[in-house]
Each structure stands twice: as C-alpha cells, then as structure tokens.
Structure 1
Amino acid sequence: MVKVWRMIDNVVDPRDQCQRNPPEPLKLEDLSEIGVLYYHVPEKSGLEKIAKERGYDSRDEITINREKMPNYDEKIKNFFEEHLHTDEEIRYIIDGHGYFDVRNKNDKWIRILSEPGDLLILPAGIYHRFTPDHDDYIHVTRLFQGLPKWEAHNRSNTTDSMNERKEYVQKIESN
C-alpha cells in the first residue's frame, strides 16, 4: 500500500524520507482531495486497462540512475525543481523507488513513496517534483495521450496565471 506523509519544510537531502518529527502520515483521501490518483497495479494487464480507460495511447520507459542517464546530476536537479505540466502526468513504477512530492491545498509538501506496481496520476496544473531515493534507481513507464511530451513549467508568477493552474486551483477549492 502506498506510503504518504507531510514533509519537513527544510529539505537537506531530497533523497531522504524527509519525515516530520513526529511523523505525519497521510491517507489516500488526502491525495484524492488534491486530485492525485493512486492505484496499485501489480500486473501489466491492469496498467493496460487504466491506460485504455483514460485514453493513453502512447508510452515510453525511462530508467533513472547514474549509469544509464546522461547528465544524471543535472537531470535529477531539474526533476526536483518545483513545476507543473499542462497535461496530466501518469507514471507507473516498474522497478526501484522514488519520491513524488505534491503541494496540498495549504501549499505544504506531501511526499509519496513510489514503489514497483504503483501508478500515480497527477492532474494538470498541480505543483510537484520528483527525486529517486538513496538507491538512485527507478524504472518508470510514462503514459501519454498522443505523442510523448514532457514539458515542465517551473513555478513562478507566470505559472500561477496559466489556465491549467487556474483550473486546477478552482477544482480543488470546490472540493
């Protein structure tokens, strides 16, 4: 089952668990409240079903580790920069571990431990970031509608005024 918690405010090493003291575990309801969907999908057939239901017809795989990813340190730094996307972000963990961090309604960080079989769907317009854990290894399937694209918009005053961000904020405020 997915592990989710409120993060500390001052992160020294993003690959640490970054738990508060005392820990503040959260539930799936805390994720769904902000539009984040979680599924445990141990079989590839379950992934195919969800992809079909949500209209995902394209995919790629990425292995994030020092040996397989050129410019590893730079890319990890970019992944951990707070950003949003104009499309839903859907990631299925094949192997390894990492952390997806998302902002709650109060603009506080929530950390999601992502492990094999986890499928996360982040809504368009949500601020988030990613880092592998200390093993520096995660193998992920990324799903897309149409051609694969991955364009991050780092958080700024400009991103707050993007239509996708405004729509996202309006949707979660009405929950």
Structure 2
Amino acid sequence: MHAYYYDNVSADQRLPHDSGQPVELDYLRKLGLALTSVPLDTEGGWEPLVDKIANEHGWDNRDTMDVTKEGLGDQFEQMLDKFFAEHMHNDAEVRYILSGSGYWDIREYPTDLWIRIRVLPGDFIIIPAGIYHRFTLDELNQVKALRFTTGELQYSSTARGSETDASPFRYRYLDSVKEVPVGA
C-alpha cells in the first residue's frame, strides 16, 4: 500500500491525485486503520491467512465484491458515484483485494485533508467505524475484493452531514484519535 495527501485538483477521480506529500502507514494505523498485506502467491495459499485474520476479529460473514462494468452492469457508474461520495459507516469497512486496484480516501482529523491510499491485490484494509472516507477505482477501472462483516451481511453508509457529525460512532472515532498529532 502507498499513501499520500490528495492534491484536490479537479480531474477524474480515478487518477492518482498525488500531491507529492507521502503519508506513512504507521500514521494511518494511529488514525485507526489496520493495513496489512497477504500476498496472493503466499506459500500454502492466502486463504488460510485471511481466514485466520477473519476469525481473530470475529468476522463470520463474507462475500465477493466485483466492482467492474461486467459485475455491476448498468449500475456501474451509479455505484462508483455512491462509493466516491464522502460517508461513514457504523461498523468497520473490511476488504481484502483479490484483483484490480483502487483508492480509499480518508479524512484526516482535525485538518479535514484527504489522505489517499492505493490498494493492490493482496492488500488487507480495515477502515474504522466513524471515519469519513470514500472509494474509487483507478484507471484500470476494476477491483474484486472480499468483504467481511460480523453477523448479517449488510452494508449501509451515511453521507457526511450534521447527522453523522453527531453520531456516537463518529464521537467514538474522534475520541480514539484526539491525542494523535497531525501527520505523526
């Protein structure tokens, strides 16, 4: 994984938008993200390692997310717009990238700057509940990932606004990062 501050230049969201200011993965971990790599060509296979991570976190459900024109059909562009709209979840967003590539953008608190994280096959990313973020494909225009949840498979998000700003999930997240120096 590679992370950097987003350049905020008006252009296709699928372009890198690299400001040239790198962000260390350790800093992202301080912001509550869990980032690891389980290469697809791991000896003995990646599945047992991914299963172990899932079991350790109590994720008992998973499905495959195929974000391609073929996978989403007529809904492709609409879904990309939805994924790229700034939002948060009440639960962690958990993905293991099987193929393709894309970007997660997360809001740095308290600066409100976007940090862009490039994900590739074998990357495992956990975005905590309560953090504002968005997702987009890159210029390859496709990603396939495993999604993990605890309990019933359901994915709901709430757009950023006064409702999410006052959410207990948002407050918990902010409380968890209040001591983290910006850019640490």
TM-score (norm 2): 0.91
Q: Distance in 2 between matches of 1:163 and 1:128?
A: 17
Which whole-Å deviations, capped at 9, do the CAs of 1:32-78 have from their partners, x for residues lacking one?
12101101012222111110000000000011111221311110000
Aligned to 1:24: 21
Give the secondary structure class of the aligned counterpart of 2:77. Answer: helix
Aligned to 2:64: 61
Work out which of the residue numbers 85, 88, 91 in structure 2 matches 1:87: 91
Amino acid at match of 2:22: P
Would you say 1:110 and 2:115 are equivalent positions?
yes
Tell me the CA shift for residue 9 of structure 1.
2.2
Q: Distance in 2 between matches of 1:48 and 1:67?
A: 27
Aligned to 2:38: 41
Q: Distance in 1 between matches of 2:176 and 2:155?
A: 23
Cα pair 1:99 1:133 within 8 Å, conserved: yes
* Count of residues in Structure 1 that have an aligned counterpart in Structure 2: 172
Uncovered stretches (5+) of structure 2, i.e. residues with no partner: 40-45
Task: State the percentage of identical aligned residues.
Answer: 34
Q: Distance in 1 between matches of 2:176 and 2:9?
A: 29
Give the secondary structure class of the aligned counterpart of 1:52. Answer: helix
Which whole-Å deviations, capped at 9, do the CAs of 1:140-172 have from their partners, x for residues lacking one?
100000111100100011110000001101111
Uncovered stretches (5+) of structure 1, i.e. residues with no partner: none
Give the secondary structure class of the aligned counterpart of 2:52. Answer: helix
Give the secondary structure class of the aligned counterpart of 1:77. Answer: helix
Would you say 1:139 and 2:144 are equivalent positions?
yes
CA RMSD of superposed structures (Å):
0.9
Which whole-Å deviations, capped at 9, do the CAs of 1:76-102 have from their partners, x for residues lacking one?
000000000000110000000010111
Cα pair 1:93 1:115 within 8 Å, conserved: yes
Structure 1 segments (4+ residues) deviating >2 Å? none
Q: Distance in 1 between matches of 2:9 and 2:159?
A: 19
Aligned to 1:97: 101
Would you say 1:129 and 2:126 are equivalent positions?
no
